[in-house]
């Protein structure tokens, strides 16, 4: 599935009537501050119901207005429309009908956003990598969505209860903690099993993809790192439960749950050593791309939609070879949106690409080919 | 300056405290009351006071009642060896309206959620344990009918752990598809549960 056209109404500095896109490659050229990312942000919001820039989606409304909207037309002639209101949030419409849950959006478009910060997926905190895995799970197994949200709720309940226990106010004693732990283990086991499935499905692909981007023999490996020993994949819940029991005294001191999938990580190694400690910027970037690409394309096998790549100023810091290889990879695997500040960054432009120029803020104009 | 006289304004504020009632509806209700004749309003006011004075929780099961004990606990035809544990009176009424259950109930008065400041001690759990140990004839089955969500499930598990040492049969109501429903329109989690919990016919 790809994006055929977008319409932006009072969205940031844009007011655009129906901008048609190429199903293959779209290049957006413009100076800083002219709104290249805004265009990608609009598409992103239609894939996730939120922005990659801000938590307050109302910031996307044009300054001084009280409502804005983004509409996408997709290649199967369906449509997504997100209406943003200054005081009352947003509503999401799919083919004109209101969607009840934002997570229902995740399975319409397979959007992969790669921005300047995406390096953090390799370099940054483990929570980012967990989010990445969990998003992949929600896309692949939508029924897991509530398991994931319920799990984090249970962890919060446990945190509050540990505080109560420490202050001596808890009447339920350890029996309630037992109940919480059993539930945490049950849901946690499912989450870890799904995450392992995700990691299994991208493992080889990440290595291959990295080699293609870097054009060398370097070896990138990803592995699931759990905060508890996994003895038997069929019985992960049991391992979590045992670890929760043995960590209980420590948890009661720290008032935190120190084991469980919310403490797990995805480790990324380059030639056998942790890349976040020893890798260069370019290497970490490339590894991030390899992971994002692999996640997007591995889900294709399960009958998932062809990805839509939104690449936002993300080729900076990459050498010309990596840039070229990466662009080729993205082109092969899905619809490609790319923002650049100048044509110098591009190398050769494929004749099939649509090139949009932002000569003034918020006004993209398609350049005639030839 | 408010557009309403002070007493009307105060009445609107009181109505706004009701669940599901916002400012607009509160105004409508108050204006409606103002239009009614005096006897209606008096009867209404008296009814509320009477209700508050006479209705209280049943000392056995915490269902609401205006008798010494509620009509379910007082009944001779109910099977007193089965207790169905529910969160709120509303849940009890829902099960009653099925007409399929002939045991008695126990209303917990909520679910455990430390996050929201509700602890096991705030619910009628000790009363339930007491009731079971003292029951004559002996209780044979406890049916846990808390809601199938994070707090409801954890509360159910807590109860199971508490009740286990008593050595009685503990069951939970089944979860799955609504009757007359359509598989196509079932939400995926419910459908997944229904498949997980399938049983031989």
Angle at A241 between CA A157 and CA A227, to 5 degrees: 85
Range of the domain at A154: 119-303
Q: 3-state class of B177 per DSSP?
A: coil
**ipTM for the whole complex:** 0.72
**Any chain B CB within 8 A of the CB of A183?**
yes
Is the domain of A68 the same as that of A196? no
- Domains in chain A: how many in total? 2
Residues A177 and A312 reside in one and the same domain: no
Q: Which chain B residues are closer than 8 Å to A180 by Cβ?
A: 154
Same domain for A93 and A70: yes
CA-CA distance, A238 to B119, in Å (whole number)? 26
Splitting chain B (201 residues) into consecutive groups of 10 residues, what average pLDDT does each group show? Answer: 84 93 92 94 94 93 93 92 94 92 94 89 91 89 93 93 91 82 78 81 74
pLDDT at residue A345, rounded to an integer: 64
Q: Quick one: pLDDT band at residue A299, thresholds 50, 70, 90? A: low
CB pairs under 8 A between A and B: 62
B-chain residues within 8 Å CB-CB of A146? 189
Check: CB of residue B86 under 8 Å from CB of residue B145: yes
In this predicted structure, what is the pLDDT of residue A247? 92
Nearest to A340 by CA among A37, A20, A8, A119: A37
Instruction: Give A346's pLDDT tier (boundaries 50, 70, 90).
Output: low
Pick the CATH number of B6-54 from 3.30.420.40, 1.10.8.420, 3.30.70.20, 3.90.180.10: 1.10.8.420
Rounded to a whole number of angstroms, the distance from the CA of A157 to the nearest CA of chain B is: 5
Fold classification of B77-172 is: Dna Topoisomerase Vi A Subunit; Chain: A, domain 2 (3.40.1360)
pLDDT, tens only, A89-120: 888 899 988 888 887 888 788 888 888 888 88
| Per-residue pLDDT at A303 exceeds 60 | no
A259 and A321 co-located in one domain: no
Average pLDDT over residues A123-149: 89
At B59, phi and psi to the nearest 5?
-65, -15
A58 to A33, A84, A93, A159: CA distances (angstroms): 19, 6, 17, 32
Place A304 in a pLDDT band, splitting at 50, 70 and 90.
low
Domain of A154, CATH number, reads 1.20.1050.90
DSSP state of A300: G
Examine the domain organization and report whether A311 and A224 are in the same domain: no
DSSP code of residue A320 = H
Chain A residues lying within 8 Å of B154, measured CB to CB: 154, 157, 176, 179-180, 183
CA separation for the pair A82, A71 (Å, rounded): 6
Q: In this prediction, what percent of chain A has a pLDDT beyond 90? A: 33
**Boundary of a domain, candidates A303, A338, A359:** A303
Distance CA A307, CA A23 (A): 11
Chain B partners within 8 Å of A163 (Cβ): 114
Does the pLDDT at position A45 exceed 60? yes
Instruction: Residue A357: count other Cβ atoms within 10 Å of its Cβ.
Output: 16
Q: Are residues A279 and A161 in the same domain?
A: yes
- Same domain, yes or no: A145 and A285: yes
| A146:B189 CB<8 A | yes
- In this predicted model, what pLDDT tens digit does every residue of A182-198 receive, in sequence order? 999 999 999 999 999 99
Between the two ends of chain B, the Cα-to-Cα distance in Å is 69
- For residues A160 and A268, state if they share a domain: yes
Confidence of residue A305 (pLDDT cuts 50, 70, 90): confident
Is the Cβ pair B120, A182 closer than 8 Å?
Answer: no
Looking at residue A350, its pLDDT comes to 76
Candidates A172, A190, A241, A252, partner chain B, best to mutate (most B CBs within 10 A): A172
pLDDT at A225 over 90: yes
8 Å CB contact between A296 and A307: yes
Pairwise CB contact (< 8 Å): B112 & A172: yes
Highest mean pLDDT (candidates A224-228, A322-326, A354-358): A224-228
Residues from chain B contacting residue A241 (CB–CB below 8 Å): none
Distance CA(A171)–CA(B71), nearest Å, equals 32
Provide the CATH number for the domain around residue A34: 3.40.50.300
* pLDDT average, residue stretch A285-299: 86
Helix, strand or coil, per DSSP, at residue B171: strand
How many helices, marked H, and strands, marked E, lie in chain A?
Answer: 9, 15
One domain, residues A27 and A51 = yes
Q: Final residue of a domain: which of A303, A332, A361? A: A303
* Residue B96 pLDDT: 92
Q: Please say whether the beta carbons of B60 and B128 come within 8 A.
A: no
Q: Check if the beta carbon of residue A291 is closer than 8 Å to that of residue A122.
A: yes
Q: Where are the alpha helices (DSSP H) in chain A?
A: 36-48, 120-123, 126-140, 145-166, 173-214, 236-254, 275-278, 281-298, 320-333
Q: pLDDT digits over A51-89, tens only?
A: 888 888 888 888 888 888 889 898 888 999 888 888 778
Q: Is the pLDDT of residue A370 over 50?
A: no
Domain finish residue from A303, A334, A361: A303
Q: Cβ contact (<8 Å) for A176 and B158?
A: yes
Distance to chain A for B166, nearest Cα, Å: 15
Q: Are residues A293 and A191 in the same domain?
A: yes
Q: What pLDDT score does A318 carry?
A: 80
Tell me whether residues A172 and B189 touch, CB distance under 8 A.
no
Neighbours of B33 (CB within 10 A): 15
Taking the C-alpha atoms of residue B81 and residue B125, their distance in angstroms, rounded to an integer, is 18
Kindly identify which residue of chain A lies nearest to residue B164, measuring between CA atoms. Answer: A175
Please answer yes or no on whether A172 and B119 come within 8 Å at the CB atom: yes
Q: Are residues A213 and A353 in the same domain?
A: no
Binary contact (A180, B153; C-beta < 8 A): no
Q: Which of residues 87-146 of B touch A (CB under 8 A)?
A: 112-115, 119-121
Mean local confidence (pLDDT), A1-5 = 88
- Judge: B119–A154 Cβ closer than 8 Å, yes or no: no
Looking at the predicted structure, is the pLDDT value of residue A282 above 90? no
The mean pLDDT value of chain A amounts to: 86
Same domain for A11 and A104? yes
| CB contact (8 A) between residue B150 and residue A150 | yes
Q: Is B154 on the interface with A (CB under 8 A)?
A: yes
What is the rounded CA–CA span in Å between residue A132 and residue A311? 17
């Amino acid at each position: 599935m790809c994006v055929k056209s977008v319409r932006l109404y009072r969205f940031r500095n844009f007011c655009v009537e129906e901008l048609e896109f190429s199903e293959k490659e779209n290049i957006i050229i413009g100076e800083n501050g002219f709104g290249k990312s805004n265009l990608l942000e609009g598409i992103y919001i239609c894939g996730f119901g939120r922005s990659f820039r801000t938590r307050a989606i109302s910031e996307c409304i044009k300054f001084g207005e009280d409502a804005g909207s983004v509409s996408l037309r997709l290649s199967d002639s369906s449509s997504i429309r997100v209406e943003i209101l200054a005081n009352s949030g947003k509503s999401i419409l799919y083919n004109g009908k209101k969607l009840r849950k934002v997570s229902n959006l995740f399975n319409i478009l397979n959007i992969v956003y790669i921005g300047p910060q995406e390096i953090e997926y390799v370099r940054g905190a483990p929570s980012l990598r967990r989010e990445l895995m969990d998003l992949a799970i929600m896309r692949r197994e939508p029924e897991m969505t509530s398991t994931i949200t319920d799990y984090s709720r249970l962890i919060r309940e446990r945190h509050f209860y540990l505080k109560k226990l420490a202050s001596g106010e808890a009447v339920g004693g350890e029996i309630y903690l037992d109940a919480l732990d059993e539930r945490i283990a049950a849901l946690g086991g499912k989450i870890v099993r799904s995450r392992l499935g995700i990691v299994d499905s991208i493992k080889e692909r990440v290595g291959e993809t990295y080699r293609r981007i870097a054009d060398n023999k370097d070896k990138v490996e990803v592995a699931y790192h759990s905060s508890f020993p996994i003895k038997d994949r069929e019985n992960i819940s049991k391992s979590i439960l045992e670890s929760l029991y043995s960590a209980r005294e420590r948890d009661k001191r720290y008032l935190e749950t120190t084991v469980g999938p919310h403490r797990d990580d995805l480790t990324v190694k380059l030639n056998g050593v942790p890349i976040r400690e020893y890798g260069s910027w370019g290497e970490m970037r490339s590894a991030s791309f390899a992971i994002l690409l692999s996640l997007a394309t591995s889900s294709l096998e399960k009958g998932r939609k062809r990805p839509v790549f939104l690449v936002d100023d993300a080729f900076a810091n990459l050498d010309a070879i990596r840039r070229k290889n990466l662009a080729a990879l993205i082109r092969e695997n899905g619809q490609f949106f790319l923002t650049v500040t100048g044509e110098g960054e591009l190398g050769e432009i494929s004749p099939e690409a649509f090139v949009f120029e932002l000569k003034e803020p918020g006004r993209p104009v398609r350049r005639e080919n030839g | 300056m408010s557009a309403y006289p002070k007493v009307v304004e105060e009445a609107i504020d009181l109505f706004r405290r009701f669940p599901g009632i916002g400012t607009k509806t509160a105004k409508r209700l108050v204006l409606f009351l103002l239009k009614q004749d005096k006897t209606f309003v008096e009867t209404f006011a008296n009814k509320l006071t009477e209700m508050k004075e006479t209705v209280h929780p049943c000392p056995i099961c915490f269902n609401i009642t205006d008798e010494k004990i509620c009509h379910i606990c007082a009944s001779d035809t109910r099977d007193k060896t089965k207790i169905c544990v529910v969160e709120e009176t509303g849940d009890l009424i829902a099960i009653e309206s099925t007409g399929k259950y002939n045991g008695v109930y126990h209303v917990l008065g909520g679910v455990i959620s430390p996050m929201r400041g509700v602890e096991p001690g705030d619910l009628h759990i000790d009363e339930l344990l007491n009731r079971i140990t003292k029951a004559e004839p002996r209780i044979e089955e406890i049916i846990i009918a808390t809601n199938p969500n994070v707090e409801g499930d954890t509360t159910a598990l807590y109860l199971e752990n508490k009740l286990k040492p008593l050595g009685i049969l503990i069951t939970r109501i089944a979860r799955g598809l609504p009757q007359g429903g359509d598989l196509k329109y079932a939400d995926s989690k419910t459908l997944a549960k229904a498949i997980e919990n399938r049983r031989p016919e």
